[in-house]
Structure 1
Amino acid sequence: MFAFCSCASSGVTASSEPDVDNDLDFCDRHVRASLNDLKNEAGYIDYSMMPRNIAAGDTTWHCRKSSPEEWCSGFWPGVLWYAYEATGDSALLTEADRFTLRLDTIINSRPYDHDIGFLIQCSYGNGYRLTRKPEYKEALVNAADSLATLFNPKAGTLLSWPRNIDMFGGHNTIIDNMINLELLFHAAAEAHRPYLYDIAVKHAETTMKHHFRPDYTSYHVAVYDPESGEFLRGCTHQGLADDSMWARGQAWAIYGYTMVYRETGDTKFLDFAQKVTDVYLDRLPEDKIPYWDFNDPSIPETPRDASAAAIVASALIELSTMVDGEKSVTYLDSAKKMLMSLASDSYRAPDNVPAFLMHSVGNMPAGSEIDYSIIYADYYYIEALNRLKKLETPLLS
């Protein structure tokens, strides 16, 4: 399984550029293949079943029923929204809407955990951005109100896993939670609810203070005393070790602080986004696709994580527009190289596999989804391509 990891070459040159139109055409073909793959023998789709992963060697999606417990349920509707945005095909709009609406039971439920942001922002959020449907806006606001109930004002962060308070010995916040702040920001703006904005900013500030080591690498989990709010420790749940740089965790930090600067305009977040980005870029292998954990002693005989690369590529395209000069060039060039590697035969799924990308890692310590195609890798990949297309074609923005 790991033979791939040590032999992947960069597949890019300093002067090459991504072929964005070709890459989006590839995504379009695979989205349509996925929709066909999801049909039953009678030709119908169960819209409650969301693509989650494809194991190495398999050629069909393993689906899971949409629910608050299935944190990836929102990514497939999000892929469809991005595919519709790229093509303008009304048939994809219809499918995106149908899958999105099957998440309606999650919106008004007591939050299972922080992932309600991933679930609703990727689906209803993209839907509202592209259609402005009032029912999508209502869903976003209700979901944000639900997410806000996890905020502990003494700790200054949102609780990530209510079910794991005893396991971690306190109020736990994972770096992934930075992405969910976008739901709070957008609901605050759309519904004029400043308390949602304040929660998002406080969470970002507290995370910036306690969730990172002096070199700006991220812990996966920060644990706080739920009564006093005191920071107790940083540790890992999905990384190699408490003091290692788990690739996807650092990717969430890069994406999250880039987004927080966009929503606030506060330059302290822009400065921090650059710091957490630079330490990540400095340690990448030649092809710009990280090993699942930067400190794994088995490197290079250990899996890469294409999902982390897709997340960072998307973030860097946006971050490149927020800085000037050499930094802007560096960030955009790095994003392009990541996308070119992901589009190479080393990482792109073959024609008989309906996913976009191969070689992602879900949870290595748990032995889960290792060297798989995973739906969130596809989501951030097509988001990155759409962002680059808009950057290169300003009239599309």
Structure 2
Amino acid sequence: MKYILIVNLIIISFLSCKSTKSQEDIVAKDFGFAEKQFDFALTEIDQALSNDSTAAFKRLVSPRTIKPDGTLGMVASKDWCSGFFPGSLWYMYEYTKDKKWEVLARKFTDSIEREKINGGTHDMGFKMYCSFGNGLRLTHDTRYKDILLESAYTLITRYKPNAKIIRSWDHNTDKWQCPVIIDNMMNLELLFWAFKESKDSIFYHIAVNHAKTTMKNHFRSDYSTYHVIDYDSITGEVLKKNTHQGYAHESTWARGEAWAIYGYTMAYRETHLPEFLNQAKHVANFIFNNPNLPEDLIPYWDYNAPDIPNEPRDVSAATVTASALYELSQYDKANRDKYKEWADKIIENLSKHYLAKQGSDRGFLLLHSTGSKPMDSEVDVPLSYADYYFLEALLRKQKLEHNENLF
């Protein structure tokens, strides 16, 4: 009997080591793929810029997607996606420690510095924190700190104190008076950082107020989300509840749920307010108990899209969710293993079935994301933010499995 017990323990130990090694291999394999693919991406970027005689006039700086004609879609610094490619290069540097990636990350990061004073957008976190924020974290370059602080002060000029929200869009004034989108939760990380750095409490209060107001108005009783809430900026009254990039106003846009779980997990990290942790947990339960979530955990672009299972997937929603789950597993001990298992399954399936072809697909890492299906824009294509959060999730996975701090 004692012999059998010893044998069983040896087998369990072997299988456990094999599983851990396999998971580590996924991280190494995917970063190895990313190194080669980004080398190819750089040649594609150079070619795209040289082929576009108006590139300098347009101030094109970063890749975003593949356009319908098959060419590389580059964007100007003002585009909300301009910070993701620089951020991905910073993640390459963090993983490889190769100075080559630092040099490239600095180059692409510096190309969007002008955005620090662009008060016409709420996307300051996406643009500046994903790029300059990662750069500061990895290099401690004081110039980056100054740029980020100026960016944060620019962002809070969009705060509406009566409504207790940061205005999102300035366009479509015929539709909305003061629209706020669930995506805006992601930009609060810049403000929380600015509070810690400057000790100016205005950043903390604005970020917390925005998160609480969003929690109150963007969620249905089952913790699904509306995409856009329109406010009266004077009274704070909710005027409309819309789902602009989803199937219908009462449907659940997949990336909106991903922004929500990530945003409230991050908000809990920065505040330790239990309501934010509970909100993230509720969103996780909605996503992973949803009957329309595919078996591989890569969601369709909308959980209520009418032609499921023949609807496009949104890999970007999956990568954002996986990254959030790795962090959430640190804060909820009761569900720690479950969250990590979900995240691991997402990463494993992305790695097996959704990677681009090496040396092809214009240098992107992942295929099958959906930007905005109602506008027939960026449907079933690679997207720079899917790649960014994929690399972030891989790094978080590695740190968790090596018992390292995520932040």
With the length of structure 2 as denominator, give the TM-score of the two structures: 0.88
Task: Show the counterpart of 1:131.
Answer: 139
* Larger fraction in helix: 2
Aligned pair in 2 of structure 1 residues 395, 205: CA closer, same or farther (>3 Å)? closer
Q: Is the 8 A contact 1:165 1:172 kept in 2?
A: no
Alignment of 1:248 with 2:255, yes or no, is: yes
Distance 1:337 1:374 in 2: 21
Task: Show the counterpart of 1:143.
Answer: 151
Aligned ranges 1:94-113 → 2 under 5 Å: 94-109=103-118, 111-113=119-121
Count matched residues. Answer: 376
Residue deviations 1:200-245, cap 9 Å, x none? 0000000001110011100000111121111223111101111101
Aligned ranges 1:134-173 → 2 under 5 Å: 134-168=142-176, 170-173=177-180
Task: Show the counterpart of 1:115.
Answer: 123
Distance 2:317 2:277 in 1: 20
Which structure 1 segments of 5+ residues have no match? 1-14
Aligned ranges 1:181-196 → 2 under 5 Å: 181-196=188-203
The CA deviation at 1:40 is: 4.1
**Aligned partner of residue 154 in structure 1, secondary structure:** coil
Aligned ranges 1:58-77 → 2 under 5 Å: 58=70, 61-66=72-77, 68=78, 70-77=79-86
Deviates more, 1:206-215 or 1:34-43: 34-43
**Aligned partner of residue 172 in structure 2, secondary structure:** helix
The CA deviation at 1:39 is: 2.5
Task: Show the counterpart of 2:6.
Answer: none
The CA deviation at 1:61 is: 2.9
Q: Is the 8 A contact 2:60 2:74 kept in 1?
A: no
The CA deviation at 1:57 is: 9.1
**Aligned partner of residue 371 in structure 1, secondary structure:** strand
Residue deviations 1:265-292, cap 9 Å, x none? 1111101110011101112210000000
Distance 1:41 1:356 in 2: 18
Q: Is the 8 A contact 2:48 2:72 kept in 1?
A: no
Higher relative contact order (Cα pairs below 8 Å, separated by 6+ residues): 1
Deviates more, 1:205-214 or 1:43-52: 43-52
Aligned pair in 2 of structure 1 residues 260, 99: CA closer, same or farther (>3 Å)? same
Distance 1:42 1:244 in 2: 39
Residue 364 (structure 1) aligned to one of 356, 373, 391: 373
Alignment of 1:236 with 2:243, yes or no, is: yes
Aligned ranges 1:238-317 → 2 under 5 Å: 238-283=245-290, 284-317=293-326
Q: Is the 8 A contact 1:75 1:375 kept in 2?
A: yes
Alignment of 1:52 with 2:64, yes or no, is: yes
Distance 2:148 2:133 in 1: 7
**Aligned partner of residue 79 in structure 1, secondary structure:** helix
Distance 1:262 1:165 in 2: 35
Task: Show the counterpart of 1:211.
Answer: 218
Distance 1:55 1:391 in 2: 37
Q: Is the 8 A contact 1:56 1:371 kept in 2?
A: no
Instruction: Name the amino acid aligned to 2:156.
Output: A
**Aligned partner of residue 174 in structure 2, secondary structure:** helix
Instruction: Name the amino acid aligned to 1:51.
Output: P
The CA deviation at 1:43 is: 9.6
With the length of structure 1 as denominator, give the TM-score of the two structures: 0.91
Distance 2:48 2:355 in 1: 28
Deviates more, 1:25-34 or 1:208-217: 25-34
Which structure 2 segments of 5+ residues have no match? 1-18
Alignment of 1:390 with 2:399, yes or no, is: yes
Task: Show the counterpart of 1:202.
Answer: 209
The structure with more radius of gyration:
2
